[in-house]
Amino acid sequence: MLSRTAQALRAVRSAHALRVAPQVRCFAHPINTHLMRDNDEISPSSEQPMYRNEFALKSPAEHQKDVANATKHPVVHDTSELIQSHAGDPHQYCGLGEWRYAHYDTVREPTFPRKPDISKGELAAGATVTRTDVWHDPKEPAITSVAKFSPENFRPVGFAENAPQVTSTCPEGTLDFRANRLPIGHADRRPWVYFMTAASGVVAAGLIRAIAGKLLLTLWPAKDVFAAGIVEVDLRPIQVGQNFVVKWRSKPVFIRKRTPEMIASCKKDDVIAPSMREPATDAERCKKPEWLICIGVCTHLGCIPQPDAGNYGGYFCPCHGSHYDHAGRSRQGPAPKNLELPPYVFVDDNTVKLG
């Protein structure tokens, strides 16, 4: 006993078959008129296609040649003068097909479809190519044979004679500015090209400048860092022989106002300066003889030396026994270098600026 759906389907088919006129001209018209919905009565496209399965297999160049040499229908200037297809609109189906047309159903295609008969002009595409040996030709390489079945090589029989060859979609009298455009390479187009090139260059230069500026500003130290890197010290409160300590860039800086005896002792040892670990004379260490300004960090392991101590009376690091003289030169112990000298300048006789 048939279900109501099957009975309705057959009734629709019968009614539609009565309305279809005998088909004399059959270019690109559908063969099947069944409902376009998934059911057990619809055969796969390889078995019962919903289009006329007659195609010409040629190269695109040959198809273009056929179009150029084919006898065309008369040129018309109004849509009402177009010829009427004897087959009607191939996309008009009852049911779902009225608004959605899909003549190839990949879901219902069998795993191994029927091999198309190329000699009869049957279309070979998709599963009918990849799942059959229709492409195989023992007389040529496989890659050449497969390439022949590219979609652009197939055209329906009668395509050259019946396919619309539209020359314009703009009716006469409608301005579409085609006549106003200058051809590419025309001399009058050059000013515009030059203007666009210059404008693009200016915009690109501005973008590069902005990006470079942002990058430099990102890497640039903050103002508080600059402020912390420059310290001015008033030298008037420092007594003769006193070792004054200030903080500069989170490091202790020793500022010693040397006595004449300290200066004479350091100048006396200048003769043996070349034999020291880091050779330097007293004049190279002190811009003004009475002032020694050095960073109070031991060059061995970063300890803070003690002033007025050690074998040379200058500085002594008790951690590992490094000895420095009154010029901050390493004289004994593991310290590899002299005490580091910070960048400084005397603003006047009573002020020095560090950094």
User: Which residues are known catalytic residues?
Assistant: 320
For 43, the token pair is: 């055969």
Please state, in angstroms and as integers, the Cα–Cα distance from residue 154 to each residue in 2, 60, 87, 102, 118, following that order.
41, 8, 21, 18, 11
Q: What is the DSSP string of 196-258?
A: HHHHHHHHHHHHHHHHHHHHHHHHSPPHHHHHHH-EEEE-TTPPTT-EEEEEETTEEEEEEE-
| H or E element at residue 63 | helix 60-69
Burial class from Cβ neighbours inside 10 Å (0-12, 13-18, 19+) for residue 218 reads exposed
Give me the residues paired with residue 294 across strands.
Answer: 254
Residue 88 Rama label (left phi>0; alpha psi -120 to 50; beta)? left
Compute φ and ψ for 254, nearest 5 degrees.
Answer: -90, 125
Please give the DSSP secondary-structure letter assigned to residue 292.
E
For 302, the token pair is: 């970063």
Please give the DSSP secondary-structure letter assigned to residue 275.
G
- What is the 3-class SS of 323-345, one letter each residue? EECCCCCEEECCCCCCCCCCCEE
